[in-house]
Chain A
Amino acid sequence: MKKRLLKKSGIAELVAKLAKRAGVFAPVDNEGNTLFQKVIDANSIAKQYVNSKDAPKGFFFPHSETLMRYKRTDKGMELEDDQVAQTKRILFGVRPCDARSFELLDLLFNQEKYSDTYFVSKRENTTVIVNACVEPISKNCFCTSLGLSPTGSAGADILMLDLGEEIFVEFITPKGEALLDCFGDMEPSATIDVQAVRERAATLVDASVPCREIKTTLDNIYEHPLWESIAQKCLACGTCTYLCPTCHCFDISDEVKGDDGARIRNWDSCMFPLFTKETSGHNPRSTQKARWRQRTMHKFKYFVDNFNEVLCVGCGRCVAYCPVNIDIREVVKSVAKI
């Protein structure tokens, strides 16, 4: 694996070089929210952030996306693919949990039999540069509970480890290596002990949430009073699922004006009353209880059944931002106690 050492003072030059290759998107402070936005120089990148408020999944699976347009003409329907040629992008400063979420989304959107071109083409055109959490401070993070590491490279093309004065850079994939020249030519000396940094970081994150151990319990508690007790105070706002890097439910609808129409795909959320509501008016998940069960089951059982992975990366966004403090860690722990 190729490695580089970059002086902190060299970041400005690095970002400038990257910006010449492709659009660079990084966490930016925006009126109190840290959001992924396009940057042209390193100054606008947030100096200190636990993580962005919005998960970077939106770069591959946008909140609202036109899939195609159609027009009624005398000769019949004219269809038009709305896929504009994909531009190259670099995501700079993604956290390891979010990079891992890209791999989980790949499992669904990029299967051998079914591949979602909208998602896949954006993934292919994007290079992911991860900023490892060498100093994880948030009490809401629990990536280690998922068997992940706060300095892990899953889903990353390039991994950066902040060592204080310098940044230790690892080039994980060929896509990452293609940007090698932007990172200068200083090779790290063999005496730098990144392993110690990694091990220390891992001990700072809460590893006690039994996310991977509850699947067999979930197999047997489709009917259980627990679901009602979780759902009772839920506002059905979907904040948890919209901010979640792994949630990926969508709803397709047509917007038609006169002879012109567009088919759009919007994020959906199992927390919404309209989720899975059928045309007849019937909804198999008509209560918040049923919807919260779906959220838990999808993450910790169905996705495991289908892909052998848990659909959570422990980023803690849903924990931090739920307006009524429904805490998925507590939910998982309650299930484990059954």
Chain B
Amino acid sequence: MESILRKTAKELLEGKKVDVVVGYTQGSVPLTMSPVFITNPDDAERLVFNALCSQNLAKYVHDVISQNRAAQKRLKPEERKKKVVGVVARGCTTRSLVLNLQEKQYTRDEIFIIGVPCAGYVDQKKLSAAVGGTEILDGSLTGGKVTVKTPAGEKSLVLAELLADNCLVCAYNNPIISDITIGEPAKPMNSANEFKKVEDFAALPLEERWSYFAKEMEKCIRCCACRNICPSCYCPECFAEQSMPQWVGVGADATDTQVFQLMRLFHMAGRCVDCGSCVSVCPMGVDLRMFLKKLDKDALDLFDARTGINEKDLPAFSVFKEREKNEEFLFEP
């Protein structure tokens, strides 16, 4: 599959169908892949796609397009040139692209989607836990196995047991939209129990839920990696960085972190594709997904909305249907 991916990217670049291909490449740390921007057709050789590719690349698509637009702000409209971004996109990435399109962040002709089937990615925290937190010296991925070399020796792990929580219950692991698809469609994941964890959590007494939230927020160092990797978080200036007025303080007060995260979480209602990127980049292991998944569930239960699964839909909060399900929640939250 990788050879077709490379060939496709090379041809797209050579034929000037795209200006850049955003994909993944081998990282410098064992068992990590890293985002890469390919502009030279010969560099297409560097592209990889496997279960170690974790980030949702839609964020970078938005970056490239908006930076290109900003750079041409002072040109006459007829002199402005569009940049076409090719992107290696799995199911969740295409959902983000769909959302960005629905939200009119760019137009369909500015992106070229190289759809790839996906069987989930490795959660680095699970991987680290599986080797008891010891240093990973080397490793490889073959079939359904991850071989890891640690100071204590070599260990063979089952890939399926290392997959990220969001992948385990993913119902959209094949591209929703694409311009070209590579490989055979992936087998569905087991999404039957998608909301089990949030349902259990939601059934807990308020105090317990709050203390869980507070405990998770205590870990947060407000690096904002979660926000910055998120394709739905594209405000040019985040409220968290505004200083006039200042919405959240910059000191070590626990409530500032809580407010920051609450605001971000609520901006995600009906806009989260559950790609798990925020969780995977969080250096502190904050369980953001528990809360995001609740909002995901609410969007589904209350508005029949699933983020980015249909290009023709409008985002949940852009439409008002007179007979919205459970609309009384507006009046009695």
Contacts and interface: CB of A to CB of B under 8 A. Distances in A.
Interface of A: 29, 31-34, 48, 50, 63-64, 137-140, 229, 232-233, 235-239, 242-243, 251, 253, 255, 264, 266, 273-274, 319-321, 323-327, 329-330
Contacts of B228: 235-237
B36 interface: yes
Nearest to B226: A237
Contact of A237 (B55, B60, B224): B224
B283 A321 contact: yes
Interface string B123-161: 001001100011101100000000000010000000000
A242 B133 contact: no
Contact of A242 (B33, B135, B137, B223): B223
A24 to B, nearest CB: 23
B229 A139 contact: no
Q: How large is the interface on B (under 10, 10 to 19, 20 to 34, 35 or more residues)?
A: 35 or more
A32 B28 contact: no
Contacts of B30: 139
A323 B285 contact: no
A327 B32 CA distance: 12
Given A139-B137, A235-B228, A238-B223, A327 B283 contact: no
A64 B251 contact: yes
Nearest to A135: B151
Main secondary structure, interface of B, reads: loop
A253 B281 contact: no
Contacts of B29: 139-140, 319-320, 325, 327
Nearest to B221: A242
Contacts, number: 92
Main secondary structure, interface of A, reads: loop
Given A266-B252, A273-B241, A324-B229, 16 more contacts: A32-B125, A33-B285, A48-B134, A139-B138, A140-B29, A233-B35, A233-B36, A235-B228, A237-B225, A239-B223, A323-B229, A323-B282, A324-B34, A324-B55, A325-B33, A325-B34
A255 B249 contact: yes
Contact of A324 (B224, B281, B285): B281
Nearest to B282: A323
Nearest to B284: A33
Contacts of A327: 27-29
Contact of A235 (B37, B135, B221, B281): B281
B250 interface: yes
A31 B286 CA distance: 12
Nearest to A255: B251
B224 A32 contact: no
B232 interface: no
Contacts of B225: 235, 237, 239, 323
Contacts of A236: 224, 228
Contacts of B34: 233, 324-326
